[in-house]
């Protein structure tokens, strides 16, 4: 996945012309300002923290939401998906490093949250997402893979568990070693970011 935070649409479209088929958007506002310029050959996932009041802006445009960290958010996605006659694929975001600054459900609550979400008929859990702490050792990546396997083994009816989204430009090799099926690459594709607000 090419992570497009602060990257101009023409650069993103060039990446798509070179074979990139999946884009990752961090912020709803930024995505809305750029989406009409995007090459429609690429699929878009929402990967950033998502507030319930922003779901309505993306429900018909993204193919998967990677950052579901509460039943409240899942229920709102489900409500709007139903209203728009569609189903939405999601990943459960796990705060694998127990970091106060990061969103994500507690690692001990993953199966419970997935079980709660069984009643939501228009949401399908495709797996897990995590942002391990910077410089995290292999244990953290291995622990995330264990959680992913537990989710698979739980065989819940609303879970297909075929995606483990873990790893970015600085740690994607470790992530792949520990079972990541989807890495989120920004800096290694587009260069260092200018993090001024877009």
Percentage of the chain beyond pLDDT 70 is 97
Coil, helix or strand at residue 152: helix
Each residue's pLDDT tens digit, 7-23? 999 999 999 999 999 99
Phi, psi of 158 (to 5 degrees): -100, 15
Q: Is the pLDDT of residue 153 over 80?
A: yes
Longest dimension (CA), the chain: 43
Residue closest to 184 by CA, chosen among 163, 169, 164, 162: 169
Interatomic CA distance for residues 75 and 44, integer angstroms: 21
What is the C-alpha to C-alpha distance for residues 26 and 24, in angstroms, rounded to an integer? 7
User: In the predicted model, is pLDDT for residue 174 greater than 90?
Assistant: yes
Assign 3-class secondary structure to 177-195. Answer: HCCCCECCECHHHHCCCCC
Q: pTM of the prediction?
A: 0.94
pLDDT of residue 105: 94
Note whether 1 and 22 are within 8 A (CB).
Answer: yes
Domain annotation covers residue 198 = no
Residue 196 lies in a domain: no
Would you say residue 89 lies in a domain?
yes
Asked if the model's pLDDT at residue 195 lies above 70, the reply is no
Strands (E) across the chain are located at 2-3, 22-25, 43-46, 64-68, 88-94, 123-130, 159-166
- pLDDT over 50 at 197, yes or no: no
133 domain-assigned: yes
Report the pLDDT averaged over residues 61-68.
97
Total of domains in the chain: 1
Give pLDDT tens digits for 67-118.
999 999 999 999 999 999 999 999 999 999 888 888 899 999 999 999 999 9
Whether 195 is in a domain gets the answer: no
Given a cut of 80, whether residue 143 has pLDDT beyond it is yes
- CATH number at 127 reads 3.20.20.10
DSSP state of 63: S
The residue segments making up the domain with residue 7 are 2-190
Residue 113 maps to a domain: yes
What number of other Cβ atoms are within 10 A of residue 108's Cβ?
9
């Amino acid at each position: 996945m090419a992570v497009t935070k602060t990257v101009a649409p023409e650069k993103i479209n060039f990446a798509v012309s070179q074979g990139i088929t999946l884009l990752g958007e961090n912020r709803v506002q930024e995505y809305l300002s750029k989406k009409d310029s995007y090459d429609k050959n690429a699929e878009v996932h929402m990967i950033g923290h998502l507030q319930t009041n922003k779901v309505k802006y993306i429900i018909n445009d993204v193919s998967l939401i990677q950052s579901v960290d509460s039943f409240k958010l899942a229920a709102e996605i489900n409500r709007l998906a139903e209203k728009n006659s569609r189903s939405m694929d999601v990943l459960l975001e796990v705060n694998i490093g127990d970091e106060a600054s990061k969103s994500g459900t507690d690692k001990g609550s993953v199966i419970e949250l997935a079980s709660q979400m069984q009643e939501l008929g228009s949401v399908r859990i495709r797996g897990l997402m995590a942002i391990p702490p910077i410089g995290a050792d292999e244990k953290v990546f291995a622990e995330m893979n264990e959680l992913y396997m537990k989710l698979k083994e739980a065989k819940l009816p609303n879970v297909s568990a075929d995606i483990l989204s873990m790893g970015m430009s600085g740690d994607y090799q470790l992530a792949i070693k520990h079972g990541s099926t989807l890495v989120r690459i920004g800096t290694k594709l587009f260069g260092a970011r200018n993090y001024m607000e877009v």
